[in-house]
Amino acid sequence: MLVGRMALGGSFSNPLSNKPAFSSDFCRMFAYLKKKWKVSWPQFALIFSTFALGGSLCAKLGSGLLQLILDEQNWVYWILYVPLITLLWPICVLGISIPLGQFRFFQNYLLRMWKRISGKPVVTRVAIFASGTGSNAETIIRHFKGQKAVEIALIVSNKPGAGVLQIAAAHHIPTWIIDRNTFLNGNGYVDELMAEKIDFIVLAGFLWKLPSALIEAFPRKIVNIHPALLPKYGGKGMYGMHVHKAVLAAGERETGISIHYVDEHYDHGATIFQEKCEIAAEDTPETISKKVQQLEHKHYPAVIEKLLKA
């Protein structure tokens, strides 16, 4: 027996030939979800497994509970089945997520789902980490002021006299002064940030290297801006005027900014955005600094907004 049908032109068409297209659709869907969730492929596999195992457990538990109450699968069974598994699903998924190490992801995921269902606006709470005067922080604060979907909820600094703290006070934003030993040798204030329901972290001139615990708790949800075109002039000690002096001493004809995700190494995470500016013959580290700062203020808030909307 022939499988398939004749096309209008007379050639034989096999439905099985659509299999590669079907497979590629799944690949595109997986790639889209990975990008949307901002996770690595290994974590995506764990998340997908959690969904699958949680769904299976939910179906089995729901069926088992109803069989204890009802003798047969009649119309009452199916009326009760749907709301029961709806209630069981988040419990099962959270339970499965614990041994797979994805509890925080699903905690945030389910919270966002509940806000959408209940009609409450989903607000992304952002913490800005800064060590200095806070010019970038102020630009970001002003950019998001009045937006309902994003809240600059916290300013974190490692310096009690940092100018960014005065900016925070002027905008009525809570501040933290963090302890070096607790931050670097503890868990990076992860528990405290979770208690404040922080969703995203922006580094704006923050000079300490982030501990692994903090990076793992906020995968691809921590960004930094560097005043040069990475991978050049990055690494330990490369910040502020040190960068501009190094760029000028090397005879570079252009410099710029790099916005990147943060990982366990200085200025090393995946690049998100870069913009260039020319270096004139008469430029000094100070004039270069002003050119770069203009790029920072122009692009950093816009790139952050784009990431939060993705």
Cβ contacts of residue 216 below 8 Å, gap of 6+? none
What is the rounded distance in angstroms from the CA atom of residue 39 to the CA atom of residue 14? 38
Of 205, 226, 202, 220, whose CA–CA distance to 274 is shortest?
226
Query: Catalytic one among 226, 242, 265, 297?
Result: 226
Going 46 to 47 to 50 to 56, the CA torsion angle's sign is: negative
Q: Are the C-beta atoms of 88 and 96 separated by less than 8 Å?
A: no
Q: What whole-number distance in Å separates Cα of residue 77 and Cα of residue 44?
A: 35
Q: 134: number of CA atoms within 13 Å, CB side?
A: 24
Residue 85 CA to residue 94 CA, distance in Å, equals 14
What gap in Å lies between CA 174 and CA 165, rounded to an integer? 9
For residues 266 and 236, give the distance between their C-alpha atoms in angstroms, rounded to a whole number: 6
Please check whether residue 222 is in contact with residue 201, taking contact to mean a CB–CB distance below 8 angstroms. Answer: yes
The alpha carbon torsion through 265, 266, 272, 277 (nearest 10 deg) reads: -160
Tokens of 155: 């300013």
Active site residue 226: yes
Distance between CA atoms of residues 67 and 163, nearest Å: 65
Q: Taken in order 114, 31, 148, 127, is the CA torsion positive or negative?
A: positive
Catalytic residues: 226
